């Protein structure tokens, strides 16, 4: 059974720092991995989707990498801003059915 | 529309009452997914649809939960005889097609509180 783990559970950094969020999964037979952002009381905003054949994806200050063989993905946020404060979730898509399996998230707080 | 819409935003039910949640997928998206988020950010997949057909229902507690996606109507998730443990945020997501190239876009969720 696929399990997705995110470390750390919470992270607090000063504004301007570069930071890395980690996601690991137990079964490397995934089709893609998606990073989301969730603001309090809100839905999920898709940030980046990495296909299983890809190594990384970039969008603005965000860069996500995928290493299927080791079962790991990282989300790199450059020059963090207070507006980046949110919970970041990773989810893997496996099998033919297409439902996502989520980690429990990393709650990020960026202090001004 | 351009966003997944979910109604209501909040729903409070007494234990044993029925709850019905609605989801309108993004126009042109063929697949709809329902997820349940309980405390500590635990997401659980419930059911998915391809248009009006059930695609995968492996996550559904079939005794009390049912769902439909009918043509020209919002999709619905219904819980008969709610229990305290059903308290959660229920998210609906849609995607254009099925496959790893297609992102799932999530709605804002419906917070169900069972008292």
**pLDDT averaged over every residue in chain B:** 92
Task: Find residues 52-111 of chain B whose CB sits inside 8 Å of chain A.
Answer: 55-56, 58-59, 91, 93, 95, 98-101, 103-109
- State the Cα–Cα distance between residues B6 and B19, nearest whole angstrom: 14
Query: Strands, E, within B1-115: which ranges?
Result: 5-7, 10-13, 19-24, 31-38, 42-50, 53-56, 65-68, 75-79, 88-95, 105-106, 110-114
- B3 in reach of chain A (CB within 8 A): no
Per-residue confidence (pLDDT) for residue A98, from 0 to 100: 67
Residue A95: CB atoms within 10 Å:
14
Q: What is the pLDDT of residue B68?
A: 96
Q: Above pLDDT 70, what percent of chain B?
A: 98
> What are the residue ranges in chain A where pLDDT is below 70?
95-98
State the best of A99, A102, A104 to mutate against chain B, taking most chain B CBs within 10 Å.
Answer: A99
Which of B55 and B6 is assigned the larger pLDDT?
B6
pLDDT at B54: 92
Residue B21 has pLDDT above 80, yes or no: yes
The arithmetic mean of pLDDT across residues B13-42, rounded, is 93
Q: Name the more confident of B56 and B25.
A: B25
Q: What is the mean pLDDT of chain A?
A: 93
Residue B62 — pLDDT band, cuts 50, 70, 90? Answer: confident
């Amino acid at each position: 059974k696929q399990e997705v783990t995110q470390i750390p559970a919470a992270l607090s950094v000063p504004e301007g720092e570069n930071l890395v969020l980690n996601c690991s999964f137990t079964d490397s037979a995934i089709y893609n991995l998606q990073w989301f952002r969730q603001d309090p009381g809100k839905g999920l905003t898709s940030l980046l989707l990495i296909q299983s054949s890809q190594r990384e994806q970039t969008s603005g200050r965000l860069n996500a990498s995928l290493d299927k063989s080791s079962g790991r993905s990282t989300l790199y946020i450059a020059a963090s801003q207070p507006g980046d404060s949110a919970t970041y979730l990773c989810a893997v898509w496996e099998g033919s059915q297409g439902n996502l399996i989520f980690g429990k998230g990393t709650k990020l707080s960026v202090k001004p | 529309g351009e966003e997944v819409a979910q109604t209501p935003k909040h729903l409070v039910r007494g234990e044993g009452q029925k709850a019905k949640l609605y989801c309108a997928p993004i126009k042109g998206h063929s697949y709809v997914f329902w997820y349940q988020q309980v405390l500590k950010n635990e997401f659980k997949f419930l059911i998915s649809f391809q248009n009006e057909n059930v695609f995968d229902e492996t996550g559904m507690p079939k005794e009390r939960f049912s769902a439909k996606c009918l043509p020209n109507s919002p999709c619905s998730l219904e819980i008969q005889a709610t229990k305290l443990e059903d308290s959660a945020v229920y998210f609906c997501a849609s995607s254009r097609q099925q496959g790893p190239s297609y992102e799932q876009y999530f709605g804002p969720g419906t917070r169900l509180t069972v008292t």
